[in-house]
């Protein structure tokens, strides 16, 4: 699946030790964007209408418009770390093509995070005005607001999206994640419930839902749901797609895949993402003791990472240590509060 590589690339770009709510929310939005990119759809175009005003073609509610924007030169330059070049190219392209939706989105995404941020958000607002019926254009705007630390505005956008597109999973998922990391787990529970009603086999959300339940005061029920989510067949586990992709890129050799992850961890010692992926790969391979050791060691990099404690909890469950699993699960819940402080 293409999304797996995108998720891996995003993880590589995330610096370990992120503990501020704004930084965590930015990461949530990046990951959610990668998930969205895996959807198919027709390309959205904007062209000059009467008197030079823009108009929108059909099939606008498609993730393809975001994929196209992400593949444009300014976005590529930014992904490579060439911030000044990305700003310059974004400015040039939007001046040359002020009525092209993908250009507006791409330039808005770049400038709203770097350079002339006011103009960046003006462009993103313009993209919404041009395509108010497009879930994905509105999603992009909400994500950029969240990434810029404008959380209240982002929440308002997500609430509108949830109301106008009630069967679209992404708005509920991203809003629930924001609620989780801003001290509102009860509100997160409601959105996770909606997601599971729409997609009952969404196992990634089942673990987050369990954590939200526990954080909102229903610790016993939350842990029971977490145990159930960890008890599925390994091919249905929340990390199975990532593990399979790593194995496939290493000729389906477990030894080579583990070696590859060890190298990645060694070359990125201050990043927690590769360590989490390494531990999850070991869980997938049935090497629970090693997974626990890797995740425990990763706490030296980020001692308040809920996902690390959830990996340790799952490893303990598979090692038939339910008490240890419960202790680690409680630490995952407590780490949410630590991240907000």
Q: Look up the pTM and report it.
A: 0.79
Local structure of 54: helix, strand or coil: strand
Residue 44 DSSP one-character state: P
- Residue 119 falls inside a structural domain: yes
Of 160, 183, 206, the position where a domain reaches its end is 183
Structural domain that includes position 328: 235-340
Of 183, 203, 223, the position where a domain reaches its end is 183
Looking at per-residue pLDDT, the higher value among 33 and 180 belongs to: 180
Q: Assess whether 142 and 269 both reside in one domain.
A: no
**Residues ≥6 apart with Cβ < 8 Å to 287:** none
Per-residue model confidence (pLDDT) at position 36: 42
Q: Assess whether 170 and 313 both reside in one domain.
A: no
CATH number at residue 126: 1.25.40.10
- Residue 220 falls inside a structural domain: no
Local structure of 239: helix, strand or coil: coil
Of 183, 205, 220, the position where a domain reaches its end is 183
How many structural domains are present in the chain? 2
- Residue 13 falls inside a structural domain: yes
Q: Assess whether 36 and 171 both reside in one domain.
A: yes
- Residue 157 falls inside a structural domain: yes
Q: Quote the Cα angle for 262-264-268, to 5°.
A: 120
pLDDT at 17 > cutoff 90: no
Q: How far is CA 182 from CA 18, 30, 173, 306, in A?
A: 14, 17, 14, 14
Q: Assess whether 133 and 249 both reside in one domain.
A: no
Q: Assess whether 279 and 170 both reside in one domain.
A: no
- Residue 164 falls inside a structural domain: yes
* pLDDT per residue as tens digits for the range 203-254: 889 999 999 999 999 999 999 999 999 999 999 999 999 999 999 999 999 9
Local structure of 48: helix, strand or coil: strand
Q: Assess whether 262 and 115 both reside in one domain.
A: no
Q: Assess whether 18 and 146 both reside in one domain.
A: yes
* pLDDT per residue as tens digits for the range 135-155: 999 999 999 999 999 999 999
Q: Assess whether 56 and 125 both reside in one domain.
A: yes
């Amino acid at each position: 699946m293409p999304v797996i590589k995108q998720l891996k690339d995003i993880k590589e770009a995330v610096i370990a030790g992120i503990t501020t709510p704004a930084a965590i929310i930015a990461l949530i939005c990046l990951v959610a964007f990668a998930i969205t990119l895996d959807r198919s759809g027709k390309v959205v175009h904007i062209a000059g209408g009467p008197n030079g005003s823009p108009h929108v073609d059909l099939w606008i509610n498609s993730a393809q418009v975001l994929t196209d924007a992400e593949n444009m030169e300014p976005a590529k330059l930014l992904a490579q770390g060439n911030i000044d070049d990305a700003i310059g190219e974004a400015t040039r392209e939007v001046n040359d093509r002020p009525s092209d939706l993908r250009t507006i989105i791409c330039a808005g995404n770049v400038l709203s995070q770097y350079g002339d941020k006011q103009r960046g958000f003006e462009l993103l607002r313009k993209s919404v005005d041009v395509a108010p019926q497009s879930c994905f254009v509105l999603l992009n705007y909400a994500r950029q607001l969240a990434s810029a630390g404008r959380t209240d505005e982002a929440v308002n956008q997500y609430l509108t999206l949830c109301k106008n597109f009630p069967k679209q999973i992404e708005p509920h998922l991203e809003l629930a994640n924001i609620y989780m990391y801003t001290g509102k787990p009860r509100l997160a529970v409601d959105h996770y419930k909606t997601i599971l009603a729409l997609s009952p086999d969404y196992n990634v959300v089942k673990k987050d839902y369990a954590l939200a339940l526990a954080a909102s005061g229903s610790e016993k029920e939350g842990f029971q749901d977490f145990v159930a989510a960890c008890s599925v067949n390994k091919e249905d586990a929340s990390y199975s797609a990532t593990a399979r992709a790593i194995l496939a890129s290493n000729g389906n050799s477990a030894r080579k895949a583990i070696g590859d992850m060890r190298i990645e961890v060694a070359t990125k010692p201050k990043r927690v993402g590769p360590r989490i992926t390494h531990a999850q790969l070991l869980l997938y391979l049935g090497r629970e003791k090693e997974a626990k050791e890797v995740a425990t060691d990763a706490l030296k990099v980020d001692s308040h990472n809920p996902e690390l404690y959830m990996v340790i909890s799952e490893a303990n469950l598979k090692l038939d240590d339910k008490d240890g699993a419960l202790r680690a699960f409680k630490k995952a819940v407590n780490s949410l509060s630590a991240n907000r402080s």
